[in-house]
Structure 1
Amino acid sequence: MTLRLYDTATRSVRDFVPMTPGQVGIYLCGLTVQSPPHIGHLRSAVNYDVLRRWLLHVGLDVTLIRNVTDVDDKILVKAVQQNQPYWAIAYANRLLLDRDYRALNVLPPTYEPLATGHITEMHDLIKVLIERGHAYPAESGNGDVYFDVLSYPEYGALSGQKPEDMRGSDVAERDKRDQRDFALWKSVKPTEPEDAYWSSPWGRGRPGWHIECSAMARRYLGDEFDIHGGGLDLTFPHHENEIAQSKAAGLGFARYWVHHALLNLGEAKMSKSLGNVIDLESVGRDGIRPVEMRYYLAAPHYRSRIDFTAEALGEAAVAYRRIEGFVQRAVEVVGQGRPKAVPPAFAEAMNDDLNTSAGLAIVHDTVREGNTALAAGDEPAIRGALTAVRAMLGVLGLDPLDPAWGGGEGGNDLKPVVDSLVALALEQRAQARARKDWAAADSVRDQLKNAGIQVEDTPTGPRWTVGEH
């Protein structure tokens, strides 16, 4: 079955056909790193990581570009407020972002370009737009350069808006031909850091937000590529402006536009500017592991809005632990095995616009079948269920046996220590049981439970897992 994706540009689910057979180019709008990341940002990373893993699973070679906007109005405001270099703020927040991506088992992008590293490419694209009559330097001669919205008749097609219904900015009329025109190049401002500017044919300045992505996509994926991704909140004006400036410059640009829905907290999207954010570290303090957070973010369909609640996150964690528990029990009986092809029903769900919700329903059905096989001691059925579950979870980045889930940053180093300490406690419990000191044995088990370790007695001896605190 061919993968079908919802294309925002056509407002329809379309068969996905790569421009070059066997290869896929994806451009994902990354973050503006003016603040530490929150779990709303991480939904984007997880959703497109699942898309990438599915494309890899079906045998395609994927080039994924995820940019970092490291110079922007918001970063410069923070730099002035905090009396720090803008680049220091951007770099510190980028390190935090990379840490969270690793914690959630998000595959690193093929390339992760910085906006500040591609000023020349932006200049080249702006020059083409000026030559074609789609851009102009500000009439006041202050060094700003604007895109002429009315010169591009299809402006607004992606978001379904019409230029006549759009509000312009509050920039003075003398600087623009039309209030709806947007900045490609921004001139030096006395209220901003002195080191946040570059030379250009129009004077010292810095790039506008939209031109950054068009230039970087072209640099790494060419004039035309397969998929452009990002959140629904980027549809307008960011992606609308990207399309206008890229196509006005004669580029084919993106053939499919894939947008994910937002993660809301209360009635509003989770947003740094609104201050209503929850980060990965805070949910970890509440006992939620990164793998469980990834499950929570991947479980809904990517176009479904997530209304965050602690209760829903806790339910997702419990659901994942059921899957994890089956995998651990099955491995004890038949070994890890090697994941094979996913079940046809799972493939059908994933090909149906990445329906992870339906896909995970199949995972849970297979886990139930596997638990029944475990109870019956049917090793072939156990092995079949285990390999199918691991194959499906591998596509979703959720396989409990993936080395990435060794406990997060530094977790692989600590795991042998934890194993040894739990083994010592279980040995003390076994000795207490042997001498029929049931109170001591129960005390050891209770202490482990309080530490988040669940102990289950099996015919082959006690088995422990990380459970609820």
Structure 2
Amino acid sequence: MLQIYNTLSRSKQVFKPIVPGKVKMYVCGMTVYDFCHIGHARVMIVFDMVVRWLRASGYEVLYVRNITDIDDKIINRAIENGEPIAALTQRFIDAMHADSDHLGLMHPDQEPRATDFIAQMQGMIGKLIENELAYQADDGDVNFAVRLLPGYGSLSGKSLDELNAGERVAVTGGKRDPLDFVLWKSAKAEEPVDTRWKSPWGEGRPGWHIECSAMSCDLLGEHFDIHGGGADLQFPHHENEIAQSEGALYGKDRTPDDAPFVNYWMHNGHIRVNEEKMSKSLGNFFLIRDVLKSFDQEVLRFFMLKAHYRSPINYSDAQLEEARSGLVRLYTALAQTPQAKTEITDPQSSWVLRFTQAMNDDFNTPEAIAVLFDLASEMNRAQGDEKLMLANTLRSLGGALNFLQRNPTEFLQSGTKQDDGLSAAMIEAQIAARVAAKLAKDFAQADAIRKDLLAQGIVLEDKPGGITEWRRA
């Protein structure tokens, strides 16, 4: 039975979808004004894992992840570049998709862009004004009146007095209260024409928070199962989504019997670099495409899922090297056994049950991966049909996490670093030279070649029939 840690209740809860057998999930996606970094990679990898496990568990999943394609940062970057907003955002949407593909991830079922949902946002803003939870200020902006909505702060667990305006929520002279947040931004004379839309409140553009409320409600309904995102979005973004969505639906008179906007809130932990939160302001962030120049995509995925999704991760090359070593161990076990052509024949085996129990415990991937390592160890001791069965189980369980689906030799021969200096052709040439030395009975030279390759991270394994296989350490 699947349990999910619900940020809203601050506890693990048994997962019960609104419609039996079906799951509707919304995840906050990227603001497309630059290339994606490894913080974005964690969100993509974590919720890719969640969707895969839900589907493996028999659920029909509708996975929606939005794209923010209108935002102050986007506008500023477009002005700096002297290019239209649409050209800038499309370029980085294409780059995001390329990064996701290189990571070996599924695309969401739907990927709505904010600029395609302006009418829905305006409709929700209109309802909030009608429900006396929003007002147009003297500066033209339409703001949400936070103190008028009972229960605001339930997600962050803070009282109104403890809260502040928060990241990305500008305090302007037009607001009645510093906690109020903007729903519709009045256009400024100096802003480009492609950054504004007509509305009942004058030309302008949506605030950041309203887009996710409008898109999720339009595509998934006013009440859906799971909403995910990074821990940094818990406040103010997700707090404000709840306020807007429930405020538009119920007004000020929401009762405990009314269905919540979302049943389960999931938040993945931060990426840290040298024990500091990764951020562009600190200059300690790494682009996905740059990391993949040095490390295999499966290594990056393995690194992310070795930790529980709610835990912070400390990023370093050493941590990625450690992740690769773990995958090498698993693929080395698989390399000793021919790939089976059938699925798992014993779904009640202790390995399957342990793995399932781990994943059903709030997607406990570290424990699930520990099962894979135990399984690999058992494989190394097994023989014959038992070994084949264990190998098939390892591949199948690894596949639930999007691991161990490649030819083991291909992975084991893939380089750790792009500039590691030894190509496959160079290694094969050295192996040929070693064979020639052995035929000439120059065993000292053959041994020297083996040692030289080992010093460069290449392990040789002599097999029956005069075959020599190699892998990178």
Common fold: TM-score over 0.5 = yes
Work out the CA distance in 2 between the residues paired with 1:120 and 1:422: 60
Aligned to 1:144: 141
2:322 alignment counterpart: 315
Following superposition, the deviation at residue 444 of structure 1 comes to 6.7
Alpha-carbon RMSD: 2.6
1:176, distance to aligned residue in structure 2 (A): 2.1
Post-superposition offset of 1:355: 0.8
Task: Tell me, yes or no, if the aligned pair for 2:278 and 2:285 is still in contact at 8 Å.
Answer: yes
- Give the gaps of 5 or more residues in structure 2: 251-259, 413-422
Between 1:295-304 and 1:339-348, the stretch displaced more is 339-348
1:359 aligns with 2:375: no
The corresponding residue for 1:166 is 163
1:324 maps to a residue whose letter is Y
C-alpha distance in 1 between matches for 2:469 and 2:287: 29
Give the superposition deviation at 1:337: 4.7
CA distance in 2 between counterparts of 1:465 and 1:44 reads 35
After TM superposition, give the deviation of residue 436 of structure 1 in Å. Answer: 3.5
Match of 1:350 in 2: 359
Please state whether the residue corresponding to 2:194 is helix, strand or coil. Answer: coil
Report the identity percentage.
Answer: 39
Helix, strand or coil for the counterpart of 1:343? helix
Asked if the contact 1:197/1:205 (under 8 Å) is kept, the reply is yes
Q: Distance in 2 between matches of 1:335 and 1:446?
A: 34
Quote the residue 2:460 is aligned against: 455
Structure 1 residue identity aligned to 2:297: P
State how far apart, in whole Å, the 2-side matches of 1:358 and 1:308 are. Answer: 20
Cα distance in 1 between the residues matched to 2:180 and 2:450 = 68
**Aligned residue runs from structure 1 range 128-139, under 5 A:** 128-138=127-137
Contact 1:6 1:13 (C-alpha < 8 Å) held by counterparts: yes
* 1:467 corresponds to which of 459, 464, 472: 472
1:359-391: CA deviation from partner (whole Å, max 9, x where unpaired): 111110010010112xxxx11221121112112
Please name the residue that 1:281 is paired with. 289
Structure 1 portions without partners, runs of 5+: 408-417
Change (3 A) 1:52 1:402: farther
How many Å apart are 1:266 and its aligned residue?
Answer: 2.5
Question: SS at 1:146's partner residue?
Answer: strand
- For residues 277 and 299 of structure 1, what CA distance do their matches in structure 2 show? 20
How many angstroms does 1:265 deviate by?
1.1
Change in 2 beyond 3 A, CA 1:325/1:337: farther
Could you tell me how far 1:427 is from its partner in structure 2? 5.6
Aligned twin of 1:385: 390
CA 1:327/1:270 → structure 2, altered by over 3 Å: closer, same or farther? same
In the superposition, the TM-score normalised over structure 1's length comes to 0.88
Alpha carbons 2:25, 2:62 under 8 Å: kept = yes
Q: Is the 8 Å Cα contact of residues 295 and 316 (structure 1) preserved in structure 2?
A: yes
1:128 offset after TM fit, Å?
1.3
- TM-score, normalising length: structure 2: 0.87
Q: How does 1:279-428 map to 2 (within 5 A)?
A: 279-286=287-294, 288-331=295-338, 335=340, 337-339=342-344, 341=347, 343-373=352-382, 378-401=383-406
Which residues of 2 match residues 232-247 of structure 1 at below 5 A? 232-247=231-246
Match of 2:207 in 1: 208
Deviation string 1:34-74 (CA, Å, 9 cap, x unpaired) is 22111121111111111111111111111110111111111
CA shift for structure 1 position 431: 5.0
Aligned length: 446
After the TM superposition, which of the residue ranges 143-152 and 426-435 deviates more from structure 2?
426-435
